[in-house]
Structure 1
Amino acid sequence: MSFGGPQWPQEPQQGGQQGYGQQPRQGGQQDGQQGYGPQPGQGWGQPHGYGPQPGQGPAPDPFPGAQSGGTTPDWGALADASASRNRRKRWLVIGGGALAALVVGAIVATAVVASGKKNDEAKNGGAPTGSASATAEPTPEPTFSSVAPPPPPNPKDYISDPKKDKAPLSAEGLFPGKKLTMNKRPYRKGATASTTDCTAATQGGLGAVLKKNGCQRVLRATYVRDGVAITVGVAVFPSESAALKAKNQATGGIAPLAGAGVRDFCRATVCLRRSNSVGRYAYFTQSGFADGRKVTKADKPIFQASDDLGTFAFNQIYARGRAQASAAAGAPGE
């Protein structure tokens, strides 16, 4: 019988900002206002004559006051007119010079700003644009190794090979605590034992089978529940094949282990014996009534207890392999 055993920002647009080289209007001048100098279609006043023009009446006297006293001109008025013309010329010259200076200054400022901008772009790599340059280096794609990582260690390898199965082994380590619960059914632990004399821990012909297949040690523990007593024994072999042979050849059974509040049972009566193996371990159970009654096929508690303890033994052996495999996976160089 067998037991049951895991996904370039756009540069911000500067709204309303004046461009490079554009100068503000001077002196509050409005659009359409005339600048310095004569306007189109105009001269510097109408030409002056010394007599009436054709089709006109008497011409206005160009030198007021000069005709009243005879032929002597009014030198004061002439001097005033000449001074006025000179002042006007000076203002024209000054105004034109200022305007020229402004134009030259604007050109120079534009050149300086443009030069500074080029220098900054040369230093910082230019302003970011909304799309990647056609000559830009492409972003490298991630690469993955074509070599698959080694698989994690298999726990069964560690309970099958004595060269790997090096963890300490004892009855208290294999059957820890004072009780166990399987499928919500609690069992109290009684006595435990460990021996290298494999035949001494057996009944009937099981001792000879264990010895023939190279048994190295037998570890036992007894559990009780509701008048049912079960002894579970685990035999250690040098190989997986040896343990498998011992399971297949099994006859007789593991010897019941009394003590620690459990009296002798399965002596001179009918009890339920089972055997199985995993890795280099074979495990056995012997279940019966604590009061010595014979076991029948109708006694469900006996079969249930045998299943629970057999599953527990399998779990404990496999947990041993899992712990050693986990330790090996985390060790340097593994």
Structure 2
Amino acid sequence: MDEGQQGGHGWAGTAGRTPEPDWAALADRNEQDHRRRKQRQVIGAVIGATLVIGGITATAVNLTGKGGSPTAAAATPSDSPFPTPAAPGPAASGDPDLSRGFTTTPEPSTSISATASKSPTAHSSSPTPAPRPDPLAVISTAGTDTAPLDPAALFPAQAPGIGGHTWTRVTTATTTPCWKATTGGLGNVLAPQGCQSILRATYASGTAAVTVGIAVFDHRSQADAAQAGYQGQLQGLVTPGSISFCTGPGCATTHGAIGRYAYYTVAGALKPGGATQDPTATAAAPSFATLTQDRLLARGH
């Protein structure tokens, strides 16, 4: 093939030829693309490593939290490429122990002061009970001692156990004026003090008998004066038609006073003669006096 034929199928001269590429620009662009791809790979690797480290850290913290050791978990975030938030200080946690690696919110405390603050309110709202009156003060004047005076109510039907015997009440009476229930000058002591009446009851155990008498006054001072001027004795009380006893001197007697009352006992035997002493009755008389005192004081409750 000659040169002219080759020229017809090859380049047709300078005027019709395609411009040659700028190889330097292409090389520079290729180099820039290569750098960008490398940067993206590096950034992707960094992000991947960060995610892996973050996952390891989260797993370690989770496992450490279940194991109850916050100290080991607190050291792990130092390897992370991201800054670790500063742990809250004592003011945020409310706990002066700086060795703790976590913050706990204090639970609302039920303090004693909260409970105590309710007590005065409850106490002040309830009415203060009135003080109980002194029983002795109640029975010291007729103005406050207003319960009925009935010998059947004051003296029990039986008095078991006194002196080892059972004593049965056989009769009762209320006598006015007072001197009719006395002998030996006792009436002369009671009358000037304004004695209103004498309540009597007789107890018997076999042939032994004790009569208990209560002289009633308006005020304690009158009863005390009668006690101070005591003389004579109480007359023994029997049912109508029975053998009288202790109607004169010779029987065992006791006397005392409490509140607006003076009380007496006379003890003897239910036998002919009227003034025969009986050891069983004599021994029981002080216990009957104590029983009477207690019954009178009970009126003040």
Name the counterpart of 1:174.
Answer: 154
Secondary structure of 1:242's aligned partner: helix
Name the counterpart of 1:127.
Answer: 105
> 1:309 and 2:288 equivalent?
yes
- Decide whether aligned partners of structure 1 residues 92 and 150 sit closer, same or farther in structure 2, where only a CA change above 3 A counts: same
- Decide whether aligned partners of structure 1 residues 207 and 262 sit closer, same or farther in structure 2, where only a CA change above 3 A counts: same
* Identity of matched residues, %: 32
Q: Which stretches of structure 1, 4 residues or longer, exceed 6 Å deviation after superposition?
A: 85-88, 101-111, 118-121, 137-140
Note the residue ranges of structure 1 that are not aligned, 5 or more in a row.
1-81, 130-136, 324-334
1:230 aligned residue (210, 213, 217): 210
The aligned amino acid for 2:46 is: G
State the alpha-carbon separation in 1 of the partners of residues 215 and 48 from structure 2.
115
User: Whose helix proportion is higher, 1 or 2?
Assistant: 2
| Superposed CA offset, 1:168-221 (max 9, x none) | 221112102244432543211110112442223222422232221111221110
The aligned amino acid for 2:201 is: A
Secondary structure of 2:289's aligned partner: helix
- CA shift for structure 1 position 152: 5.4
Q: TM-score, normalised by structure 2?
A: 0.58
State the alpha-carbon separation in 1 of the partners of residues 112 and 259 from structure 2.
55
- CA shift for structure 1 position 257: 1.4
Q: TM-score, normalised by structure 1?
A: 0.53
Structure with bigger RCO (C-alpha 8 Å, 6+ apart): 1
Structure 2 counterparts to residues 193-212 of structure 1, below 5 A:
193-212=173-192
- CA shift for structure 1 position 289: 0.9
1:244 aligned residue (224, 244, 247): 224
- Decide whether aligned partners of structure 1 residues 104 and 291 sit closer, same or farther in structure 2, where only a CA change above 3 A counts: closer
- Decide whether aligned partners of structure 1 residues 126 and 104 sit closer, same or farther in structure 2, where only a CA change above 3 A counts: closer
Structure 2 counterparts to residues 13-24 of structure 1, below 5 A:
none
The aligned amino acid for 2:298 is: A
State the alpha-carbon separation in 1 of the partners of residues 203 and 211 from structure 2.
6
Name the counterpart of 2:255.
Answer: 275
- CA shift for structure 1 position 99: 4.0
Aligned residue pairs, count = 219
State the alpha-carbon separation in 1 of the partners of residues 209 and 180 from structure 2.
20
- Decide whether aligned partners of structure 1 residues 235 and 100 sit closer, same or farther in structure 2, where only a CA change above 3 A counts: same
- CA shift for structure 1 position 222: 0.2
The aligned amino acid for 2:196 is: Q
Name the counterpart of 1:95.
Answer: 45
Name the counterpart of 2:236.
Answer: 256
- Decide whether aligned partners of structure 1 residues 266 and 102 sit closer, same or farther in structure 2, where only a CA change above 3 A counts: same
Alpha-carbon contact 1:272-1:295 (below 8 Å) kept: no
Alpha-carbon contact 1:295-1:302 (below 8 Å) kept: no
Note the residue ranges of structure 2 that are not aligned, 5 or more in a row.
1-30, 58-79, 95-102, 121-128
